[in-house]
Amino acid sequence: MLLQRLVEFADTSTEIIPPFYSRKAVRWSLEIDANGVPQGGLVDTANKDDPNSRFGAPRLVPAVTRTVGISPALAVDTGEYVFGWLSEGVKPERVAKQYTAFRALIAEWAAAEPDSHGPAVAAFYRDGHADRVSPPADWGRGDLVGFWVDGVYAADAVAAQRFWAGVAGDRKGSGRSGLCLVCGRVQPLLHTMPQQIPRRWVPGATQSASLVSMNEATHGYELQKFLTHTPICADCGLKFMTALTALLSDPRHSTSLSGQNARLAWWVLGGSTIDPWAAVEQLDPSHIQRLVAGPASGAEASLDEVSRYCSVTVGGNVARVVVRDWVELPISRVKDNIRAWFDDHRIVDAWTGEVATIRVSQLARVAGRFEVGRNGGAGTWTKFGASGEHRPPDLFHRLLSAALLRRPLPPKLLNHVINRIRIDGRLDPARAALIRLALRRHPTLPEHERERLTPTLNVAHKQPAYVAGRIFAVMDDLQRTVFRVADQKLNTTFAERYFGRAIDNPQVVIVSGRRNVQAWLKRLRGPLRRPGWSDAYERRLDDLFVQLDVIPSAAVLTDKAQFILGYHQQRAEMRTERVAAAANKKKTDLPPEPDDVAPTADDEGDDA
Amino acid sequence: MVNGVTLRRSPEGDLPVVVQVSGEAALFSRPELKVERVSYPVMTPSAAVGVLESIFWKPEMRYRVVAIEVLKPVRQFSIRRNETSDVAPLAEALKGSRRVDTAAHRDQRNAVCLRDVAYRIHAHVEVAAHADKPVAAYRDQLRRRVRKGACFQQPYLGTREFSAEFGWPDDTPRADVNEEIGIMLHSIHRDGQSAQPRMEWFAARVVAGVLSVPERGIELALPVEGQVV
């Protein structure tokens, strides 16, 4: 149903694209009057400062797929076709044929539509004006040249659209009519696809690509090439190619992350106004608010049932579009999935103490390598597609599918992220969110354990690895406090030194840490004269140790994840307590946070 | 009515025969996306006929699929394979003078397939004019073969790579699949009057896990007089 849904999307689009037209940059314009006399020279419409018109003003122009044959377009084409200009390396005899074919088409147009702009353009050629137009200095072989006749763009006129539809239909049609596979109506059928999707929108394609293509004998039923056994009418063929191009090129309907091996486009049919992308990627508060309040208010329930979410993931294979995934779901299910997604990944931010939701692209980004900044500067995430990013190649799409369609996460993701945390020594809310998400959706984790994995610290969660993570966080905090009070510089913190090892085997680190703890407590109590703080830390540690029958030693994957989660949430909890105490809302026995560690805007978390 | 599904009876008033098939993977290519293949979400009637004919077939009989029950939820996966775009002409292939040169004509193609599928196929057996036995004889022979697990060749689910297990139907509940699938191939006829086969199609829809197949499809490409076919 992919093609049908694309045609439906094209039908709901407000922009009406004439048959066999597509939007392209037209760089050069030539104004002529009704008698074909040029009104000035060629006008360059390119604007280097505007990304949309860097190569010329974008316009709807007659266009069908051209391969090796000579095939002129109507009233707008390259300099070779329109004026017979030669560029370096081209064959003059071929260009002469192109020029002749273009003029012949103009003559046909003038004869077929005498009331159109065709006669004016034909007169331009007949009277020899074309020979007097010389190529501009910065003319490029691929630049399009278009005619304006008395202030009207010649290819825009209804007569031009009508004539071109006939010409292009004859070129691309199969010469037979029949019931179309897409719309189910009797229509003139296509021989090949009339339009292609530009290469830049199809990752992996080496040239412009077609969604339906059977150009080898082995591709078709009974070794028949082209659309012989796939009856598709011209109207549907144009619509779904136009719709897919429009979707893939629209950042509101497709992904734009570089370095991923596919591009995902989505759209909603049926009247619902939800934008799933805005909900999970842009985290638009109003969208999320509407989403969460939706079931309670009951608004649009019936509309959600009839509306459909459609998404297609495409890659390229030379000149063919590869459909990697195709999904169609009722909007009500998508909304449920998004709510579950937020429930599963929301996590407390260790700096603000607030529960945060994370963008899907950010979750994909933090699964990659983190490069520590030089000389104490802020670190950066390795860019998508960069060398050594160490990020699963299709992670973004897998996560997006998990968010919108509730599909399982990649099985290796949890192990991958834990490894990255160990290697990078960095744990921030996004990585903690990935850990919580992977745990909550882990196929073997019992349901009661899953429910205990709350976004903030859950003191009732007594899983040994989780408690061990909490103990580790308290020990690290104690060490920082001792050195801060003593006004000593701490080159490497307890967590920086032992976090990786503790993830693998909490027992070794906590047992040896316990000995250090005694020394730190003693300093705090004695020379540093902070007995209250010492008691507070000791009480916390005792409360935690008493929950452990045995300190876990050989940690399985979920235990490692629980340890990290416990560590992150305990740290966040202590910071929240301090922030609340500083605002006089709550009493705490913890020492205050030093002022000099306030996070910067780019630093979402801190290093473990 | 069988398993809560109302099924079309044969001209003789009989209920269809039932065969249950399952497999780890399946690929029922959509005709519009058959190069970089995308599978229909459920089994097609033509694939079901292929499965039944692998188990039992005689020139005196043919199968007419009535309904296909979907027993497992639709799950997809994607694979890429190296194939060939080379075809040896029939004459050379018969003589054995030329082999398909895959290495020189490599064609990499993607396929979106189905994972872990199971279906219950309901089909009538129809006999040809020259059949010398009643239809019940062919039906019973099919049933005996299904019970024994006998087949002429291992049945497959859409493509040869995905072989199918088959057996006597059990009471596995249907999956909750409700989907408009679009136009699907109903059957292919070769009546010898034209070089091109005649194809019948139908608008497929799965309701509560059942794909009902009409008795006749419609022909998609209808040649119009004076046009090149």
Decide if A231 and B112 are in contact by the 8 Å CB cutoff: no
Q: Which residues in chain A touch residue B108, judged by CB atoms under 8 angstroms apart?
A: 317
Q: Angle formed by the axes of helices A429-440 and A331-345, to 10°? A: 120
Q: Is A322 on the interface with B (CB under 8 A)?
A: yes
For residue A601, pLDDT beyond 70: no
pLDDT (0 to 100) of residue A600? 39
Type of residue at A42: L
Q: Which residue has the tokens 């300093």?
A: A523
Residue contact A221–B31, C-beta within 8 A: yes
Are B36 and A218 inside 8 Å of each other by CB? no
Distances (CA, A) of B116 to A495, B21, B68, B122: 46, 11, 16, 20
Q: Select from B35, B84, B199 the Cβ nearest to the Cβ of A214.
A: B35
What pLDDT does residue B89 have?
80
**What average pLDDT does range A472-480 have in this prediction?**
93
Query: Exposed (0-12), middle (13-18) or buried (19+): which is B186, by Cβ within 10 Å?
Result: buried
* A314 backbone dihedrals φ, ψ, rounded to 5°: -125, 150
Structure tokens at A501: 């090892």
Burial of A305 from C-beta contacts in 10 A (0-12 / 13-18 / 19+): middle
Largest CA distance in chain A: 105
Q: What is the arithmetic mean of pLDDT over A343-354?
A: 88
Closest CA of chain A from B110, distance in Å: 7
Alpha-carbon distance of A512 to A509, in angstroms, equals: 5
Please say if the pLDDT value at position A34 is more than 90: no
* Average pLDDT over chain A, rounded to an integer: 86
ipTM of the predicted structure? 0.89
Amino acid identity of residue A283, one-letter, is L
- CA A269 to chain CA centroid, Å, is 20
Region B203-208 average pLDDT: 94
What's residue A474's pLDDT? 93
- Judged by CB atoms closer than 8 Å, whether chains meet at A178 and B112 is answered as no
Q: What's the number of CA atoms in the CB half-sphere (13 Å) around residue B4?
A: 9
Residue type, B223: P
pLDDT-based confidence at A301, cuts 50/70/90? low
Residue linked to tokens 């979106």: B112
pLDDT in tens, A501-545: 999 999 999 999 998 899 999 998 888 888 888 998 999 999 999
Query: CA B124, B128, B129 angle in degrees (round to 5)?
Result: 140
Cα–Cα dist A158/A19, whole Å: 11
**pLDDT exceeds 80 at position A586:** no
Q: Which residues in chain A have their CB less than 8 angstroms from residue B182's CB?
A: 1, 3-4, 181-182
Do A179 and B222 count as a contact with CB atoms less than 8 A apart? Answer: yes
Q: Which residue of B has its CA nearest to A325?
A: B112
Residues of A in contact with B32 (CB under 8 A): 3, 181-182, 212, 230, 232
Quick one: how many helices (H) and strands (E) in chain A? 20, 18
The four Cα atoms A200, A203, A205, A208 give a dihedral, to 10 degrees, of: -30
For A96-121, the pLDDT digits (tens) are: 999 999 999 999 998 988 888 889 99
Residue B85 has pLDDT above 60, yes or no: yes
Interchain CB contacts (distance < 8 Å): A and B? 102
Contact A177 B224 (CB under 8 A): yes
Q: Count of residues for chain A?
A: 608
Nearest CA in chain B to A237: B32
The proportion of chain B whose per-residue pLDDT surpasses 90, expressed as a percent, equals 66
| Three-state DSSP state, A371 | strand
What DSSP character marks residue A197? B
**Which of A182, A192, A197, A216 is most worth mutating to test chain B (most B CB atoms within 10 A of its CB)?**
A216
Structure tokens at A467: 């408690």
pLDDT of residue B98: 84
Look at residue A296 in the predicted model and tell me its pLDDT: 62
**Are the beta carbons of A209 and A252 closer than 8 angstroms?**
no
What's the pLDDT band for B229 if we cut at 50, 70, 90? very low
pLDDT, tens digit (0-9, with 9 covering 90-100), for B163-204: 999 999 999 999 999 988 989 999 988 876 667 788 899 999
Return the minimum-mean-pLDDT range out of A492-501, B70-79, B215-224.
B215-224
Give the helix/strand (H/E) hosting B22.
Answer: strand B17-26
Q: Which residue has the tokens 């079901």?
A: B48
To the nearest whole Å, the CA of A229 is away from the closest chain B CA by 8
| Other Cβ atoms within 10 Å of B222 Cβ, number | 13
Do residues A180 and A187 lie in contact, with contact meaning Cβ atoms separated by under 8 Å?
Answer: yes
Q: Alpha-carbon distance A190 to A177, whole Å?
A: 9
**Which of A229, A314, A398 is the best substitution to test chain B (most B C-beta atoms within 10 A)?**
A229
Contact B227 A176 (CB under 8 A): yes
Q: Which two tokens stand for residue A225?
A: 């090439």
Pick the more confident residue, A298 or B57: B57
